[in-house]
A and B are shown apart, each in its own frame.
Chain A
Amino acid sequence: MTAWNDERLERIISIMLRSGVLLSAAIVLSGGAFYLIRNGGERAAFHAFQAAAPSYRSAHAIAIRAFQLDAGAIIQFGLLLLILTPVARVAFSIVAFVLERDRTYAAISLIVLSILVYSLMSAR
Chain B
Amino acid sequence: MTVLELAPLVLLISAVAGYLGALTGLGGGVVITPALTLLLGIDIRYAIGASLVSVIATSSGAAAAYVKEGYSNIRIGMFLEIATTAGALTGAFLASRIPTSALAVIFGFVLLHAAWQSSRSVHTSSATESSDPLATRLKLDGGYPTQDGPQRYHVHNVKTGFSLMFGAGAISGLLGIGSGALKVIAMDQAMRIPFKVSTTTSNFMIGVTAAASAGIYLGRGYIHPVLAMPVMLGVLLGATLGARQLIGARTRVLRIVFGLVVAAMAVEMIVSGIVGKI
Inter-chain contacts of B43 with A (CB < 8 A): 46-49
Judge if B212 is at the interface, Cβ distance under 8 Å.
yes
CA distance A45 to B209 in the complex (A): 30
A-binding segment of B80-88, B109-117, B191-199, B257-265:
B80-88
CA distance A48 to B224 in the complex (A): 13
Q: If A32-B233, A115-B85 touch, does A9 touch B218 (CB 8 Å cutoff)?
A: no
Do B57 and A83 touch (CB < 8 A)? no
Inter-chain contacts of B5 with A (CB < 8 A): 44
CA distance A14 to B195 in the complex (A): 21
Please report the number of residue pairs spanning A and B whose Cβ atoms sit closer than 8 angstroms: 208
Do A79 and B232 touch (CB < 8 A)? yes
Inter-chain contacts of A84 with B (CB < 8 A): 211
A-binding segment of B25-33, B64-72, B118-126, B152-160:
B64-72
Q: If A72-B226, A83-B56 touch, does A25 touch B46 (CB 8 Å cutoff)?
A: no
Do A32 and B229 touch (CB < 8 A)? yes
Among A7, A53, A105, find the residue whose CB has the most chain B CB atoms closer than 10 A: A105
CA distance A89 to B210 in the complex (A): 13
Do B57 and A109 touch (CB < 8 A)? no
The contact size tier of chain B is 35 or more
Judge if B45 is at the interface, Cβ distance under 8 Å.
yes
A35-66 at interface with B (beta carbon < 8 Å): 35-36, 39-44, 46-53, 56-59
- Within the complex, which residue of A20, A52, A57, A75 is in contact with B229, where a contact is CB–CB below 8 Å? A75
Which A residue sits closest to B217, measured CB to CB?
A123
Q: Could you tell me how many residues of chain A have their Cβ less than 8 Å away from some Cβ of chain B?
A: 69
Q: If A44-B6, A47-B42 touch, does A17 touch B61 (CB 8 Å cutoff)?
A: yes
Q: Tell me the minimal C-beta distance from A30 to chain B in angstroms.
A: 10
- Within the complex, which residue of B41, B59, B67, B218 is in contact with A57, where a contact is CB–CB below 8 Å? B218
Among A20, A84, A116, find the residue whose CB has the most chain B CB atoms closer than 10 A: A116
Inter-chain contacts of A48 with B (CB < 8 A): 43
Judge if B99 is at the interface, Cβ distance under 8 Å.
no
- Within the complex, which residue of A9, A14, A73, A90 is in contact with B64, where a contact is CB–CB below 8 Å? A14
Do B215 and A122 touch (CB < 8 A)? yes
- Within the complex, which residue of A21, A31, A46, A109 is in contact with B236, where a contact is CB–CB below 8 Å? A21
Judge if B60 is at the interface, Cβ distance under 8 Å.
yes
Inter-chain contacts of A14 with B (CB < 8 A): 63-65, 67-68
CA distance A20 to B59 in the complex (A): 12
CA distance A25 to B222 in the complex (A): 19
CA distance A87 to B207 in the complex (A): 9
Do B3 and A112 touch (CB < 8 A)? no
CA distance A121 to B215 in the complex (A): 7
Which B residue sits closest to A18, measured CB to CB?
B64
Q: Tell me the minimal C-beta distance from B217 to chain A in angstroms.
A: 8
Do A83 and B53 touch (CB < 8 A)? yes
Do A31 and B225 touch (CB < 8 A)? yes
Q: Tell me the minimal C-beta distance from A29 to chain B in angstroms.
A: 6
Do B64 and A17 touch (CB < 8 A)? yes
- Within the complex, which residue of B70, B85, B233, B236 is in contact with A112, where a contact is CB–CB below 8 Å? B85
- Within the complex, which residue of A11, A79, A83 is in contact with B225, where a contact is CB–CB below 8 Å? A79
- Show 9 residue pairs from A and B whose CB-CB distance is below 8 angstroms, ordered by the A residue: A25-B233, A28-B228, A44-B2, A44-B226, A52-B222, A56-B221, A83-B56, A112-B85, A115-B82
**Contacts from B to A (Cβ < 8 Å):** 1-7, 40-43, 45-46, 53, 56-57, 59-61, 63-65, 67-68, 70, 72, 74-75, 78-79, 81-82, 85-86, 88-89, 92, 100, 138-139, 207-208, 210-216, 218-230, 232-233, 236
